[in-house]
Amino acid sequence: MDQEKDAFYVVRKGDVIGVYRNLNDCQAQVGSSICDPPVSVFKGYRLSNDTEEYLTSRGLKDALYTIRADDMKDGIFGTLVQCPLQIPTPSLGETSTKDTSKKRSQLVEGSEDLETMGSTSIDPSRKHPKLDHSNVGKLSTVNCRSCILKFDGASKGNPGRAGAGAVLLSDDGSLICKLREGLGIATNNVAEYRAVLLGLRYAVKKGFNRISVQGDSKLVCMQVQGLWKAKNENMSILCDEVKKLKDRFDSFQIEHVLRGLNSEADAEANLAVDLADGQVQEECATSLK
């Protein structure tokens, strides 16, 4: 019972992640509209001081509401007046990159009771695109700049006949495209990486600049995030290819999900096993053909 006093809940709603102290507050985050992003809730214990400090440095503490910058609409808050904000100057000799790396590691180590939530990579050198109201409601068209990629690999024998499967969805969950590729003889880990590459290349080709990647391969997710080192040479090469494609996006996020939540990509991977090595099949929404 004592550990329940230290319980906390991590809520993910689309690309936004929040931390709460009670389950009732989490329930309030579930939207009533079918257009609302899906909500996932995770429970953990003992939120350390280092983790709280890291979260505060990367987000907003005790905010009334939070919203992604890309979801902002002109005039949503009425008339606003800019207020001066004093930013503390770091002491001489401090290395912010090192501190960030250390706190990121502590955050991961302090959240062992949670599934990996993923990481977001944003290129600060690129300007944020202006909100284009003409694209609202057209999430399944080429004009949509953001998508979800679900990936999975299959190998009958490990190594054995293998296939890669990828499913791209719009932010509202509607289908963009199903992809599958025959890989010949390969291991399951190779098939998982090839599935990520299959989906990322399609997303780049179609001009998406924001992507959220989901898969049930913890190895792939952790290696791409840089949290695990790729010891196998083949894995290292494939991981480097993924990271090169990752840099093509303004925003890139990858997260590990449970196998039961990855059935769509799993189905495509199993179909791909029967394809010839290098053969790719696509089933895309009419608007993208």
pLDDT digits (tens, 9 = 90+) for 196-240: 999 999 999 999 999 999 999 999 999 999 999 998 999 999 999
CA torsion angle 76 82 84 86 (round to 10):
30
Please write the tens of the pLDDT for every residue from 231-252.
Answer: 899 999 999 999 999 999 999 9
Domain identity same for 153 and 211 = yes
Whether residue 62 is contained in a domain is answered as yes
Q: What is the pLDDT of residue 70?
A: 64
Domain identity same for 160 and 277 = yes
- The single-letter code of the amino acid at 156 is K
Q: What is the pLDDT of residue 74?
A: 66
* pTM greater than 0.85: no
Domain identity same for 174 and 65 = no
Domain identity same for 107 and 166 = no
Mean pLDDT of the chain: 77
- The single-letter code of the amino acid at 265 is A
Domain identity same for 142 and 263 = yes
Whether residue 106 is contained in a domain is answered as yes
Domain identity same for 220 and 96 = no
The angle at the Cα of 20, spanning 19 to 23, to the nearest 5 degrees, equals 135
Q: What is the pLDDT of residue 121?
A: 42
Question: CA-CA distance, 263 to 261, in Å (whole number)?
Answer: 6
Higher pLDDT, 164 or 42: 164
Domain identity same for 275 and 141 = yes
Q: What range does the domain containing 96 cover?
A: 2-114
For the chain, the C-alpha Rg in angstroms (whole number) is: 20
Please give the structure tokens belonging to residue 1: 């019972």
How many domains does the structure of the chain reveal?
Answer: 2
For residue 138, pLDDT beyond 50 = no
Helices 188-205 and 218-225: angle between axes, nearest 10 degrees: 60
Query: Averaged over 60-66, what is the pLDDT?
Result: 68
Q: Which of 100, 15, 117, 124 is nearest to 66 (CA)?
A: 15
Query: Averaged over 43-54, what is the pLDDT?
Result: 79
Residue 60, Cβ density class (10 Å: 0-12 exposed, 13-18 middle, ≥19 buried): exposed
Please write the tens of the pLDDT for every residue from 88-127.
Answer: 444 444 444 444 444 444 434 444 344 433 444 434 444 4
DSSP string over the chain = -GGGGGEEEEEEETTEEEEESSHHHHHTTS-SSTTSPPEEEEEEE---HHHHHHHHHHS-TT-S----GGG--TTTT-S------PPPPPPTT--HHHHHHHHHHHHHHTTTTS----EEEE-TTSPPPPP-GGGTT-TTSTT--EEEEEEEEEEETTTEEEEEEEEEE-TTS-EEEEEEEEEEEE-HHHHHHHHHHHHHHHHHHTT--EEEEEES-HHHHHHHHTSS---SHHHHHHHHHHHHHHTTSSEEEEEE--GGG-HHHHHHHHHHTTSPTT-EEEEE-GGG-
Q: What is the CATH number of the domain that holds 149?
A: 3.30.420.10
Query: Averaged over 141-159, what is the pLDDT?
Result: 84
- Of 79, 114, 149, the one marking the end of a domain is 114
Question: CA-CA distance, 272 to 153, in Å (whole number)?
Answer: 9
Half-sphere exposure of 286 (CA within 13 A, CB side): 0
Whether residue 126 is contained in a domain is answered as no
Whether residue 121 is contained in a domain is answered as no
Q: What is the pLDDT of residue 114?
A: 44
Higher pLDDT, 113 or 48: 48
